[in-house]
Chain A
Amino acid sequence: MLPSELLRVKIYNNEYIRPLFADINDENIFLADSMIKIYEENVGKKLKDLEEELKELERFAEEYGYDFKFFRGLKALLDRRLSFEENFYSVDIIRIRAEIFETTNRLFGGFILSEEEKKKVISEVSKKLNLKEDQLEEIFKSIYEEEKKIKAFEKINGEELLKLYNLSLLQTLLFRCKKLFLDVKASGHDIKRLLWNIKKLGLLYIAEKSFNGIIFTIDGPASVIKQIERYGTRMAKIIPLILPFSYWKIFAYISSKLRSKKSKAKTYKFILNNESERLFPSFKKVEVTYDSELEEEFAKRFVTVTGEWKLIREPEPLISGKTIFIPDFLIVKGDVKVYLEIMGFWTEDYLKRKIEKIKQLRDINLILAIDSSLGDIKIDDPNIIIIKYDKKISSFDIIKALRKFENINKN
């Protein structure tokens, strides 16, 4: 994400807004690489040396026709990759400065007004702290940020930098998002992660089936009362999660005050889909992990005994009312599809909500495996079979239930 003054956008037809993404072409890569080179060469030097060189390159880039905001956007991202020598803000520098100020006050009542007075202060302090006089003045100045010494620069190449810039630009645009629509297709696991993040960020969603997958409409608790500029930064944080999905489309309402600071904000539309994928960083697929040992153990055992039944972990989500239900497994044989949900632990509230969700599912075969120590559940629905288990889920019980569904299907 970038400071909002570095956002670059274009308005189309007074209706659509779009960030000015950087093309991943040779020219842009050349600029990015030149900047990176300067960062790399200045490791071990002072921050002010780096700034000096960058200023020159910026002037050059601008003459060449680059937008200074583009340059500074790249710079902002590169600055974050710097680390500095640690002892910079050490107590010592502060103590030495304090000694200088204190001596100045004691000898001259608050300040020095001549070279002579300065000499007296310096010589007294240097004697007291056992430091050389010229060293003392150097230390006095070393408190300033630009005197910081660069310790390291986290590597990146030009192409990666441009992609990172585009992602940051997109996120910066979304700071001012009032309502976000995500049309996506992804595995149950990926959707689960997305929803978990939406919830963690204090946002709300409703889910609806779409032609390609599911549309999530995302905004915040207070959005229904008034469109407040509050949830944009959080929506921006969601974006990296959907970029690896096999299909994604972003539709957003962006409030923007482009004309002048005082004028009223206008709402623009923003649309982007996975055809623009190449502009953005590619994220590594996250290894799918099991929610519990129970599930893992069951899955491993089950595949050895199932024959034609195929077990799929965290399949594509199901829509239940306005929310999402992601069963743990989908078991398939030919046309027959049966979902399996394992309930190993719950609170009463959780259970209530889950059953509420399950009841809203239509035309779906579901096996609900529940821990027998957790009491009784009754659901009156021919498409749902409840089996109880004790510590381990019996593959035999599951297969029995699967056969029942198979027979229903045949009839």
Chain B
Amino acid sequence: MLEIKYSGGTIIIKGDLVNLGFPNFVYYDSRIDCYRCFASKFFELEKFLKNNNIKYDAKVFDLPQGYFEVIKHVSLRDYQYEAIDAWDKEKRGIVVVPTGAGKTYIALAIMAYLKVPTLIVVPTIELMEQWYSRIKEHFRTKIGLFGGGSKEIEYVTIITYDSAYINAELIGNKFLFIIFDEVHHLPSEGYRQIALLSAAPYRLGLTATPEREDGLHELYPELVGDIVYRKTVTELTGKYLAPFEILRYYVSLNEEEKEKYEKYRSIFKKFFEDNNIQIKSLEDFYQMILKSGKDKKAREALLAWNEARKIALNASAKIEVLKEILQEHRGERIIIFTEHNKLAREISAKFFIPEITYRTPEKERILTMERFRKGIYNALVTSKVLEEGIDVPEANVAIILSGSGSRREFMQRLGRILRPKFNKKAILYEIVTKGTSEVNISYRRRIKEEYFD
């Protein structure tokens, strides 16, 4: 009889295994004279033991006590049913649907029929609050919040990636179902341990953008399961998602900014030329940062590059264009995105628009989000914080200042206004600086792009 138990995110197997031809994910641990595997392999291990008629006694799970009752049925669209069917075959895997297509409802519907202790892993406190209110709306159960100061483990627990990483051993055997919201975060070196050290057999990943620049999405099968269902924006537009239009404004630097920009540009350009460096990719840029730790000249160049970029991103003309745009949309639902906190703050103070940045005190952030949702506030300015998945269903105008243009970021920002609740066509404005490293297109041309018809 083998004895199997959970210990610190791993499974310990005691007993004589020598003649059993054990699967390759089980390792001998000489420190304790036992065998070990990642907790995530527990169900594979069980399958193996059952198939080979090996007797064992497993004490792995320590599930939170509680109840779970559906009080409001989750109503689903066709593609959401399809997604659930696809996932249900293995009860593992990733569902890819665009932002705004109701990822959360897919997860809630699965929770409603599994009815098991569930862990939901989310990237931000905002998302935690959002899941909390959705779950409360649909189920009668105990909900625990873990992260941002609270540390509760209940029948349904919502946790941030950071807290889940730190407490992976603690939570690893407390749930049977684990949901990774915005699952593209999971494969990173630290976060992937959340999946490896968890014994939960049922796993669901949700995202609009599964591919990662570093290629680590190849780890999904091991961590969560394959991509089992995928729908693109184009497939859903019209029927389920509001079509939207993109307007791009190009602004120039003013004389003073131009002068400064040129000053900094000449510093980093000279350094690049002298050292035969080309900044073409992120990788080149990291090289540069690494170098700057030791080399004083490299550091100067990097600082200059940064300053130049700041000038480009925060060009004062952008504020003027922003003002023009605002004028056209008074009373509508508007969200403004900036790259830096400083610009968000400047806009907040100038236009009396509430801001949300990572420096905003929690109390004010919660109040602002609530009031924006209720419509007491119509406009909101934010630096990166809101990037992901946050429900701001009523917004119909998004304005991006100094967007960095990365694909994922872009998509997610678009997601804010891709809300089907609107009859009105949503508009996305992007304000970029011309003649800087950001872009190089001629004077204040206004380009109109119809994205989805």
A binds B: yes
Chain A 199-218 interface mask (CB, 8 Å, partner B; 1/0): 00010101000000000000
Cross-chain contact A220 with B8 (CB below 8 angstroms): yes
B323, CB-defined interface residue at 8 Å: yes
Q: Which residues of A contact B28 (CB under 8 A)?
A: 224
Report the count of interface residues on B (CB-CB < 8 A).
53
The one of B189, B364, B378 in contact with A229, judged by C-beta atoms closer than 8 angstroms, is B189
With the chains together, A111 CA to B189 CA distance in Å? 43
With the chains together, A258 CA to B31 CA distance in Å? 32
With A105-B376, A143-B361, A262-B283 in contact, is A112–B352 under 8 Å at CB? Answer: yes
Cross-chain contact B379 with A111 (CB below 8 angstroms): yes
Cross-chain contact B330 with A144 (CB below 8 angstroms): no
Q: Which residues of A contact B359 (CB under 8 A)?
A: 144-145
With the chains together, A121 CA to B351 CA distance in Å? 11
Q: Which residues of B contact A222 (CB under 8 A)?
A: 8-10, 36, 38, 196-197
Cross-chain contact B345 with A225 (CB below 8 angstroms): no
Cross-chain contact A260 with B287 (CB below 8 angstroms): yes
Q: Which residues of B contact A346 (CB under 8 A)?
A: none
Cross-chain contact B377 with A109 (CB below 8 angstroms): no
The one of A68, A97, A144, A206 in contact with B31, judged by C-beta atoms closer than 8 angstroms, is A206
A98, CB-defined interface residue at 8 Å: yes
Q: Which residues of B contact A204 (CB under 8 A)?
A: 31-32
A100, CB-defined interface residue at 8 Å: yes
A164 CB to closest chain B CB (Å) equals 22
A283 CB to closest chain B CB (Å) equals 26
Cross-chain contact A121 with B283 (CB below 8 angstroms): no
Cross-chain contact B330 with A109 (CB below 8 angstroms): yes
B37, CB-defined interface residue at 8 Å: yes
Cross-chain contact B376 with A102 (CB below 8 angstroms): yes
A259, CB-defined interface residue at 8 Å: yes
Which residues, 215 to 243 on A, are CB-close (under 8 Å) to B?
Answer: 220-222, 224-226, 228-230
A89, CB-defined interface residue at 8 Å: yes
Chain B 330-352 interface mask (CB, 8 Å, partner A; 1/0): 11101000000000010001011
B7, CB-defined interface residue at 8 Å: yes
With the chains together, A225 CA to B32 CA distance in Å? 14
Query: Which residue from chain B places its CB closest to the CB of A10 in the assembled complex?
Result: B294
With A111-B326, A221-B10 in contact, is A101–B354 under 8 Å at CB? Answer: yes
B51 CB to closest chain A CB (Å) equals 22
Query: Which residue from chain B places its CB closest to the CB of A108 in the assembled complex?
Result: B330
Name the prevailing secondary structure of the B interface residues: mixed
Cross-chain contact A110 with B334 (CB below 8 angstroms): yes
With the chains together, A108 CA to B334 CA distance in Å? 14
With the chains together, A158 CA to B414 CA distance in Å? 52
With the chains together, A89 CA to B366 CA distance in Å? 14
A91, CB-defined interface residue at 8 Å: yes
With the chains together, A110 CA to B29 CA distance in Å? 63
With A68-B299, A220-B8, A262-B214 in contact, is A143–B352 under 8 Å at CB? Answer: no
Chain A 103-115 interface mask (CB, 8 Å, partner B; 1/0): 0110011111100
B331 CB to closest chain A CB (Å) equals 4
Q: Which residues of A contact B334 (CB under 8 A)?
A: 110
With the chains together, A387 CA to B169 CA distance in Å? 41
With the chains together, A140 CA to B27 CA distance in Å? 60
Which residues, 345 to 393 on B, are CB-close (under 8 Å) to A?
Answer: 345, 349, 351-354, 359-361, 363-364, 367-368, 371, 376-379
Chain B 387-419 interface mask (CB, 8 Å, partner A; 1/0): 000000000000000000000000000000000
Query: Which residue from chain B places its CB closest to the CB of A262 in the assembled complex?
Result: B283
B190 CB to closest chain A CB (Å) equals 7
A400, CB-defined interface residue at 8 Å: no
Cross-chain contact B351 with A141 (CB below 8 angstroms): no
Which residues, 84 to 102 on A, are CB-close (under 8 Å) to B?
Answer: 89, 91, 94, 97-98, 100-102
Cross-chain contact B378 with A89 (CB below 8 angstroms): no
A132 CB to closest chain B CB (Å) equals 18
Cross-chain contact B331 with A109 (CB below 8 angstroms): yes
A207 CB to closest chain B CB (Å) equals 11
B193, CB-defined interface residue at 8 Å: yes
Q: Which residues of A contact B331 (CB under 8 A)?
A: 109-110
A233 CB to closest chain B CB (Å) equals 9
A69, CB-defined interface residue at 8 Å: yes
With the chains together, A189 CA to B129 CA distance in Å? 47
With the chains together, A405 CA to B14 CA distance in Å? 39
B137 CB to closest chain A CB (Å) equals 25
A84 CB to closest chain B CB (Å) equals 13
Cross-chain contact A110 with B377 (CB below 8 angstroms): yes
The one of B25, B290, B363 in contact with A259, judged by C-beta atoms closer than 8 angstroms, is B290
The one of A89, A144, A322 in contact with B345, judged by C-beta atoms closer than 8 angstroms, is A144
In the complex, 13 of the A-B residue pairs with CB atoms within 8 angstroms, ordered by the A residue number, are A8-B293, A97-B364, A102-B376, A109-B330, A110-B331, A110-B353, A202-B8, A221-B9, A224-B31, A225-B37, A258-B290, A260-B286, A260-B290
5 tightest Cβ-Cβ pairs between the two chains A and B:
A110-B378, A109-B331, A221-B8, A110-B379, A111-B351
Could you list 15 further interchain pairs (A-B, Cβ under 8 angstroms) beyond the known A104-B352, A145-B359?
A: A8-B293, A69-B293, A98-B367, A98-B371, A100-B352, A101-B377, A102-B371, A110-B353, A111-B326, A113-B327, A204-B31, A222-B38, A222-B197, A230-B193, A260-B290
